[in-house]
């Protein structure tokens, strides 16, 4: 009875001293029958004890995960003594002998009968079958596991594994679909487009035995269409192309171009994940999350968002509950969530339990410590590098499983594990999941390989099956029919109507870098060297800026060595300190020089109290011109302008209104539709640049840049690009420039000789959008000016040069897409809602977006095919449904389009077509 | 085989339910504790939303009146309007609300509604909180009160959307913030709002698309159905999806073709009745072009929009709408969002709301609908001339108050106040002529007796609709309660 000597049991001790036999008498008697652990005791433990004393938790040092642990007891001594229930402390606790020490602490007290059961069990020497434990189970779907396939079998690996599964489940595989159904399914699933009648024809006529596999490979090799389709999938998962709150304060950064590029290049998935977990500036939007205004709940602070997103998307682990409290539905604890968040935090994180600070500091760790630890002493960059390494390490079998499961679900309509974000749930076929995962790893994380494997299986090519009834166990028998997503629907609509938008949601998509566009002549940045009077000052600014850049770099170096020195300790710290001090001093000097260079000559200084706006007709207004001849007007001509100042583009005297602008403060990157302004013969592009804005500045801005400094900007420049067919017009030094031109300068008739030649900016000089600030762009505050225009050039040009169409995923959501469940992505969307809704049906029935598009298409259809309506409607069927209309359908369709064909009739047929379940479902 | 314990297993049944719900396409109820069976006292809720922060001392809880005098001390100003009597002895409103005062005998007035402390005060955050019961941001998309009611009770008439939202545009300031809570969130868009920004154009939302005659519209639909029947594909495998698509189209068509759709058409309202909802000189044609400015120079056209919204709400309640919100419209620095010119602006705001509220109540009563229709007027927080947030808070002041008021533009309640607020309720089982709670007569005019927190206000509304406050829906395998953590407690003393 040594336990009773423990101080915490002092009261007890006293009690016993007085009344040594008291306890045994106070206890309910043991039951008088053999006790079965599994039947009698396990349920008691589960109901009352395990919440605090199992699954890795051991409150008071006591765990009852195993018999041995139970015997060992906790801080207060042994838990139980076999054969001596009256002397076993745990019995006293559950019996409530001491009113201050009763177990369970929360919940219902044990009945005397229950205590009697426990006593009997202890008295009967505590039989405890060794296979029963209350330990935290090993993680599901986690460890790498190779699945052996039958040697020499010719069956597709997926089908081989499914054959075994189906035999076990006594179900039969669904029949294979015909070629038309397969083609439509594969096109829509892999590249998100309908097969065109011509593409379908080619496929149907192909007599190769492996033509389906060939088609799958061909589709996956279509890099642009593959990327533009899967962009939707990844946007949903990565919360990218987010439209919503958080932008006001620069709280959100998109990763659209990085993501699209990764898809075009089919970046290996492990590298893809590493670049998102430990991001470069182009991919940091994901881990940065969304920064909301105002006071934000601790569980939604950026490091915690990063932890939640990383674990949910890549590992199928939901720690949203654990971000506030130990999860009630899984084994994740508050410490787990904070452990991961701490990796992303700039400072130490305090654990906050349901908005109440606990005073405890988060201990940095990965969710699965078995994969390795992260040294909290490392600087953040190295911690993230380490985290990325752990996530993508060979030992992490969860990474590949999570993504192959998502891809399977995408193609089959349901995952091997469901929900897709809870990979702790068992797979319906462990072999299939593990084989797919290992196959992905074996193929260097090539996601297209996994898609190919799935899409070439007989399972994928079998007829669709119905969803299980409620409460019915899911058994895979074949794919579900899937409904077209918003983007798929809109792309299919564009295919049927032939009308595509040219307006991407962002001008940052770069179609050049991916090699999708070739033979594009990049424009040069141009400006003027006049007026000479300001030349020296500009040079001084340039020089000072260079000096500033150099000293900032030096400081960065010094910081790095300081970090290194601090982690090493010792004498190096002192030298690092000196290095830092001298770098800081250099910056101070550079700053002084820059300020001096930027101080305007007295003539330009504003009068006290006046607005810092130059008068109209200021000498810094610049005009650029370029003449060119056209033998014919191209059918399509788009252009782009990038400018460091407010700008207008005129073609043949008419202003070209932007169809899209990327806005920083003044939106000086524009996409222009120039075709309507072009004519045969002499044409002129005239660009009007106002080197001041007409807005008043706030106090901070006035302090930051005294009058006129922005007009002395060393980094002014414009670039223009236009393409129409083979014609390309780009800025270079053949352009003419003049200050404050007057009269008909936007006219082609003007003689260029009176104008000076434009100056191409030296290589490496990057124009800046209204560069008012002297600070380099801070990554924490990316939305602030200045914005470097240089990196924007190629994307903007590529969008103008792009001859094709902009797919829906790259456009901004319109009311139709929103009604069709394109999300705004405030939260991660692993699976979109696909159930039809009334409000959606209303939008489809009387929404302006769809009806206007159908109307336009119908007018064109009448103009182009009015003479052969039967041919038109047959093509419509083949394109929309991948099959010809039946006789009955053809007759009905002919009836509605009228004879002769009317645009109303054509619009009504188009409307009916896109609303047919057969059209909206991928079967 | 290990029979080791994992708490997830407890949720097996819930997960099965989830699967079923997935198939059915909607989130399922979370099997939590005991749910009380509540007999509803209302079938419909009409929420009159005073977006932008309505000062209680200038509306339904007047305090000592301090008329404008140049050079006055702002500390002395509690109300900028004199008070007026109401139809209930001893209960006073602020001048300008005479018509509403005349129906106070049908009302329950909560004077002590507290706005949450959410740190730096932003309208959109408090509006989000008021409408969802949760503080933004949340890791799951929180549904709007109307969506919860729509999901839980469904439409009263299948042809009328269960959640109709009148008067708010989403292309003005802070529109993304507004969208963040004007949504069904994780409940799914089936329960989302049917948005009608301009009440006089409501009919267009339920009419065939522009330029299409009713005859052609009917034909198109018939043809569509015949074409669908003629399709040789889709006889097996995906009946469920096919059927649900057809059902959705049926619903849309039913709404567009239903006699109930006429309720959306305000033009069908007799002129005499319409005039009771709008000010003199009102011209619906001007509604789209009218510009409001920050000085509070409101044209009758603008003012009439809310009145039309109330009229539309009445028409929709008559044909069986479930949840309707009518807003005075939140636009940063406009309407109730008075950061200056508070007094003169409120003269107009009262013109905007007074007649329509009273008329709505009288019309509902006359039609025998008031007893089963709960009308709730509320705002995201109140205002005070001096105090930002609450007394002693360290929040940044969001409007300037000079030491002496020498310009009428400083005369008014310009700061955001969270310690009291008025909520006016009519019908739906609430008491008549009842006042709940007391606020101080001196600054800070905060709640000093029977304060009501938002969770409890929501619980009261839910209870009237027969919904227990601890009802929860499952999202990502966890419960999402209709009031925060299921803890809302209805204010039982408000019920008749």
Give the DSSP letter string of B291-355: ---TT----HHHHHHHHHHHHHHHHHHHTT-SEEEEES---TTSTT--SS-HHHHHHHHHHHHHH
Of A320-329, A425-434, A491-500, B287-296, the poorest mean pLDDT is in B287-296
Q: Which residues of B touch A46 (CB under 8 A)?
A: 5
Of A310-324, A614-628, A669-683, the poorest mean pLDDT is in A614-628
A133 touches chain B (CB under 8 A): yes
A:9-48 residues touching chain B, CB 8 A cutoff: 38, 46
pLDDT tens, A587-604? 888 888 877 766 655 444
Beta-carbon pairs below 8 A across chains A and B: 248
Contact A838 B246 (CB under 8 A): no
3-state SS assignment for residue B82: coil
Contact B74, B414 (CB under 8 A): no
pLDDT tens, B375-403? 999 999 999 999 999 888 888 888 889 99
A:412-441 residues touching chain B, CB 8 A cutoff: 418-419, 421-422, 424-425
Q: Distance between alpha carbon A552 and the CA centroid of its chain, in Å?
A: 32
Identify the band that residue A13 occupies on the pLDDT scale cut at 50, 70 and 90.
Answer: very low
Give the orientation angle of helix A380-391 with respect to helix A302-315, to 10 degrees: 20
pLDDT at B290: 54
pLDDT tens, A125-150? 888 887 888 877 778 899 999 999 98
Contact A918 B219 (CB under 8 A): no
Residue A291 has pLDDT above 90, yes or no: no
Which residue shows structure tokens 């096109």?
A: A187
Contact A835 B188 (CB under 8 A): yes
Residue A180 has pLDDT above 90, yes or no: yes
Could you say which of A54, A471, A888 has the minimum Cβ distance to residue B230?
A888
| ipTM score assigned to the predicted complex | 0.85
Residue B222, burial from CB neighbour count under 10 angstroms (0-12, 13-18, 19+): exposed
Q: Which residues of A touch B245 (CB under 8 A)?
A: 483, 836, 917, 920
**Least Cα separation, residue A295 to chain B (angstroms):** 5
Q: Which residues of B touch A321 (CB under 8 A)?
A: 478
A:199-258 residues touching chain B, CB 8 A cutoff: 243-245, 247
For residue B430, the cross-strand partners are B495
The whole-number average pLDDT for the span B447-454 is 97
Residue A667 has pLDDT above 60, yes or no: no
pLDDT tens, A526-582? 887 654 334 455 566 667 777 877 888 888 888 888 878 877 777 778 888 888 888
Could you say which of B4, B223, B227 has the minimum Cβ distance to residue A134?
B4
Q: Give the span between the Cα atoms of A171 and B139, in whole angstroms.
A: 40
**Least Cα separation, residue A125 to chain B (angstroms):** 22
pLDDT at A250: 58
3-state SS assignment for residue A722: strand
The whole-number average pLDDT for the span A264-269 is 97
Residue A892 has pLDDT above 90, yes or no: yes
Q: Give the span between the Cα atoms of A529 and A542, in whole angstroms.
A: 14
Which residue shows structure tokens 């495998």?
A: B237
Contact B93, B83 (CB under 8 A): yes
pLDDT at B288: 63
Contact B7 A321 (CB under 8 A): no
The residues near A852 (Cβ < 8 Å, ≥ 6 apart) are: none
B:107-146 residues touching chain A, CB 8 A cutoff: 118-122, 124-125, 135-141
The whole-number average pLDDT for the span B459-477 is 93
The whole-number average pLDDT for the span A662-675 is 74
Residue A610 has pLDDT above 80, yes or no: no
Cis peptide before B137 (omega within 30 of 0): yes
Contact B190 A835 (CB under 8 A): yes
Contact B495, B73 (CB under 8 A): no
pLDDT at A552: 82
A178 touches chain B (CB under 8 A): no
The residues near A466 (Cβ < 8 Å, ≥ 6 apart) are: A480, B237, B238, B239, B240
Contact A329 B237 (CB under 8 A): no
B235 touches chain A (CB under 8 A): no
Transcribe A341-379 into DSSP letters.
HHHH-SSPPEEEETTEEEEEEPPP--SSGGG----TTS-
Q: Which residues of A touch B209 (CB under 8 A)?
A: 845-848, 851
pLDDT at A641: 94
Q: Distance between alpha carbon B115 and the CA centroid of its chain, in Å?
A: 15
Percent of chain B at pLDDT above 90?
63
Q: Which residues of A touch B205 (CB under 8 A)?
A: 842, 846
Q: Which residues of B touch A839 (CB under 8 A)?
A: 161, 189-190, 192, 194
What tokens does B154 get?
């469904």
pLDDT tens, A55-75? 777 777 788 888 888 888 877
pLDDT at A131: 80
pLDDT at A856: 92
pLDDT at B296: 44
A348 versus B82: the higher-pLDDT residue is B82
C-alpha angle B410/B415/B417, rounded to 5°?
A: 145
pLDDT at B478: 83
pLDDT at A598: 61
Contact A287, A279 (CB under 8 A): yes
pLDDT at A8: 40
Q: Give the span between the Cα atoms of B190 and B247, in whole angstroms.
A: 12
The backbone region for B378, taken as left when phi is positive above 0, alpha when psi lies in -120 to 50, beta otherwise, is: beta
B477 versus A896: the higher-pLDDT residue is A896
Q: Give the span between the Cα atoms of A562 and A569, in whole angstroms.
A: 10
Q: Give the span between the Cα atoms of A488 and A228, in whole angstroms.
A: 10
A:313-332 residues touching chain B, CB 8 A cutoff: 318, 320-321, 323, 328-331
- Chain A's closest residue to B232, CA to CA, is A886
C-alpha angle A296/A298/A304, rounded to 5°?
A: 110
Transcribe A269-322 into DSSP letters.
HHHHHHHHHTT-GGGHHHHH----SS---GGGSHHHHHHHHHHHHHH----TGG
């Amino acid at each position: 009875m040594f336990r009773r000597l423990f101080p915490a049991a002092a009261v007890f001790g006293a009690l016993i001293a007085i009344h040594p036999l008291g306890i045994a008498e106070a206890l309910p008697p043991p039951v008088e029958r053999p006790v079965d652990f599994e039947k009698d005791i396990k349920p008691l433990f589960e109901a009352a004890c395990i919440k605090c004393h199992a699954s890795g938790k051991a409150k008071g040092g006591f765990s009852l995960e195993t018999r041995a642990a139970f015997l060992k007891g906790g801080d207060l001594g042994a838990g139980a003594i076999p054969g001596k229930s009256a002397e076993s402390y745990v019995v006293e606790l559950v019996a409530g002998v001491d009113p201050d020490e009763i177990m369970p602490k929360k919940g219902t007290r044990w009945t005397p009968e229950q205590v009697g059961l426990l006593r009997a069990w202890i008295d009967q020497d505590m039989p405890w079958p060794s296979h029963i434990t209350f330990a935290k189970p090993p993680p599901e779907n986690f460890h790498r596991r190779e699945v052996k396939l039958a040697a020499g079998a010719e069956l597709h690996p997926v089908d081989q594994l499914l054959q075994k599964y189906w035999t076990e489940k006594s179900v039969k595989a669904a029949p294979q679909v015909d070629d038309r159904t397969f083609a439509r399914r594969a096109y829509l699933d892999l590249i998100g487009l309908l097969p065109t009648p011509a593409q379908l024809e080619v496929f149907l006529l192909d007599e190769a035995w492996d033509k389906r596999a060939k088609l799958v490979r061909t589709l996956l090799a279509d890099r642009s269409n593959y990327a533009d389709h899967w962009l939707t999938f990844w946007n949903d998962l990565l919360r990218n192309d987010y439209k919503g709150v958080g932008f006001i304060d620069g709280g959100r950064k998109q990763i659209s171009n990085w993501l699209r590029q990764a898809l075009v290049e089919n970046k290996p998935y492990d590298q893809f994940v590493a670049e998102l977990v430990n991001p470069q500036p182009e991919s940091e939007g994901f881990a940065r999350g969304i920064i909301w205004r105002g006071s934000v709940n601790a569980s939604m602070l950026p490091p915690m968002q990063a932890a939640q997103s990383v674990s949910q998307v890549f590992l199928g682990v939901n720690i949203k509950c654990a971000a506030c409290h130990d999860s009630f539905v899984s084994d994740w604890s508050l410490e787990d969530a904070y452990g991961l968040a701490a990796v992303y935090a700039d400072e130490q994180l305090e654990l906050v339990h349901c908005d109440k600070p606990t005073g405890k500091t988060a201990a940095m760790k990965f969710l699965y410590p078995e994969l390795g630890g992260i040294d909290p002493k490392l600087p953040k960059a190295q911690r993230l590098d380490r985290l990325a390494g752990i996530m993508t390490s060979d030992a992490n079998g969860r990474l590949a499983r999570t993504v192959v499961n998502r891809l399977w679900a995408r193609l089959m309509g349901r995952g091997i594990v469901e929900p897709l974000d809870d990979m702790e749930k068992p797979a319906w076929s462990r072999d299939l999941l593990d084989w797919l995962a290992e196959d992905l790893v074996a193929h260097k994380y090539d996601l297209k390989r996994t898609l190919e494997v799935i899409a070439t299986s007989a399972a994928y090519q079998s007829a669709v099956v119905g969803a299980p009834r409620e409460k019915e166990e899911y058994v895979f028998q074949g794919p579900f029919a899937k409904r077209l997503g918003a983007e798929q629907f809109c792309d299919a609509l564009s295919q049927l109507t032939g009308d595509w938008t040219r307006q991407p949601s962002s001008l940052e998509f770069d179609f050049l870098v991916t090699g999708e566009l070739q033979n594009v002549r990049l424009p040069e940045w141009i400006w003027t060297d006049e007026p000479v009077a300001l030349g020296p000052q500009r040079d001084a600014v340039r020089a000072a800026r260079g000096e500033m850049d150099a000293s900032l770099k030096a400081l960065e170096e010094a910081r790095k060595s300081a970090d290194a020195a601090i982690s090493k300790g010792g004498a190096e710290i002192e030298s690092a300190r000196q290095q830092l001090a001298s770098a800081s001093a250099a910056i101070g000097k550079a700053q002084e020089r820059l300020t001096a260079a930027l101080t305007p000559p007295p003539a330009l200084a504003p009068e006290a109290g006046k607005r810092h706006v130059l008068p109209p007709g200021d000498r810094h207004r610049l005009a650029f011109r370029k003449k060119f001849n056209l033998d014919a007007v191209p059918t399509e001509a788009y252009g782009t302008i990038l400018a460091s100042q407010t700008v207008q583009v005129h073609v043949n005297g008419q202003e070209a209104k932007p169809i899209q602008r990327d806005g920083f403060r003044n939106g000086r990157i524009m996409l222009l539709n120039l075709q309507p302004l072009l004519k045969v013969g002499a044409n002129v592009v005239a660009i009007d640049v106002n080197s001041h804005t007409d807005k008043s500045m706030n106090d901070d801005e006035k302090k930051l840049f005294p009058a006129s400094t922005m007009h002395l900007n060393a980094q002014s420049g414009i670039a223009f690009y236009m393409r129409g067919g083979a014609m390309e017009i780009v800025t270079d030094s053949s352009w003419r420039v003049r200050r404050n031109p007057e009269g008909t300068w936007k006219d082609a008739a003007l003689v260029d000789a009176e104008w000076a030649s434009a100056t191409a900016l030296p290589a490496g000089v990057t124009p800046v959008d209204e560069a008012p600030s002297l600070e380099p762009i801070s990554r924490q505050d990316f939305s602030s000016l200045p914005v470097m225009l240089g990196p924007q050039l190629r994307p903007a040009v590529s969008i103008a040069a792009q001859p094709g169409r902009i797919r829906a995923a790259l456009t901004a959501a319109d009311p139709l897409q929103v009604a069709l469940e394109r999300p705004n992505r405030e939260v991660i969307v692993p699976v979109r809602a696909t159930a039809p809704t009334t409000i959606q049906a209303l939008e489809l029935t009387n929404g302006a977006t769809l009806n206007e598009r159908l109307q336009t298409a119908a007018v064109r259809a009448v103009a182009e095919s009015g003479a052969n309506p039967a041919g038109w409607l047959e093509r419509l069927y083949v394109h929309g449904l991948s099959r010809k209309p039946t006789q009955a359908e053809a007759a009905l369709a002919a009836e509605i389009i009228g004879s002769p064909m009317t645009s109303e009739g054509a619009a009504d047929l188009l409307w009916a077509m896109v609303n047919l379940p057969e059209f909206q479902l991928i079967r | 085989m290990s029979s080791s314990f994992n708490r997830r297993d407890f949720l097996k049944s819930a997960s099965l339910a989830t699967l079923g719900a997935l198939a059915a396409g909607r989130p399922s109820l979370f099997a939590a504790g005991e749910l009380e069976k509540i007999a509803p006292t209302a079938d419909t809720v009409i929420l009159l939303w005073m977006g932008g922060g309505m000062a209680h001392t200038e509306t339904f809880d007047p305090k000592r009146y301090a008329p404008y005098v140049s050079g006055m001390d702002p500390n002395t100003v509690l109300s900028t309007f004199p008070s007026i009597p109401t139809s209930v002895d001893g209960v006073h409103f602020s001048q300008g609300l005479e018509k509403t005062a005349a129906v106070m005998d049908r009302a329950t007035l909560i004077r002590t509604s507290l706005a949450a402390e959410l740190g730096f005060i932003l309208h959109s955050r408090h509006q989000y909180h008021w409408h969802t019961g949760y503080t933004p941001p949340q890791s799951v998309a929180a549904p709007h009160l109307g969506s919860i009611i729509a999901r839980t009770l469904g439409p009263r008439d299948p042809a009328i959307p269960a959640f109709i939202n009148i008067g708010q545009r989403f292309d003005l300031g802070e529109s993304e913030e507004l969208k963040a809570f004007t949504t069904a969130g994780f409940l799914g868009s089936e329960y989302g709002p049917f948005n009608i920004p301009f009440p006089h154009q409501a009919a267009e939302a339920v009419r065939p698309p522009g330029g299409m005659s009713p005859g052609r519209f009917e034909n198109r639909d018939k043809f569509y159905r015949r074409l669908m029947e003629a399709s040789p594909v889709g006889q097996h495998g995906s009946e469920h999806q096919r059927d649900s698509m057809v059902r959705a189209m049926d619903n849309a068509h039913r709404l567009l073709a239903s006699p109930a759709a006429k309720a959306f058409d305000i033009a069908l309202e007799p002129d005499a009745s319409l005039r009771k909802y709008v000010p003199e000189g009102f011209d619906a044609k001007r509604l789209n072009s009218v510009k409001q400015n920050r000085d509070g120079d409101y044209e009758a056209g603008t003012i009439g929009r809310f009145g039309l919204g109330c009229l539309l709400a009445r028409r929709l309640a008559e044909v069986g709408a479930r949840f309707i919100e009518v807003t005075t419209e939140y636009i940063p620095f406009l309407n109730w969002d008075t950061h200056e010119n508070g007094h003169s602006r409120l003269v107009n705001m009262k013109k905007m709301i007074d007649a329509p509220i009273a008329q709505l109540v009288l019309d509902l009563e006359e039609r025998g609908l008031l007893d089963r229709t709960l009308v709730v007027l509320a705002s995201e927080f109140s205002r005070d001339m001096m105090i930002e947030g609450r007394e002693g808070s360290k929040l940044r002041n969001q409007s300037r108050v000079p030491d002496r008021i020498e310009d009428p533009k400083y005369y008014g309640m310009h700061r955001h106040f969270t310690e009291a607020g008025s909520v006016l309720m009519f019908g739906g089982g609430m008491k008549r002529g009842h006042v709940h709670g007391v606020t101080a007569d001196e600054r800070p005019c905060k709640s000093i007796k029977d304060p009501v927190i938002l969770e409890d206000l929501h619980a009261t509304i839910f209870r009237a609709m027969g919904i227990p406050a601890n009802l929860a829906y499952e999202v990502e395998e966890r419960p999402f309660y209709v009031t925060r953590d299921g803890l809302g407690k209805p204010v039982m003393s408000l019920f008749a």
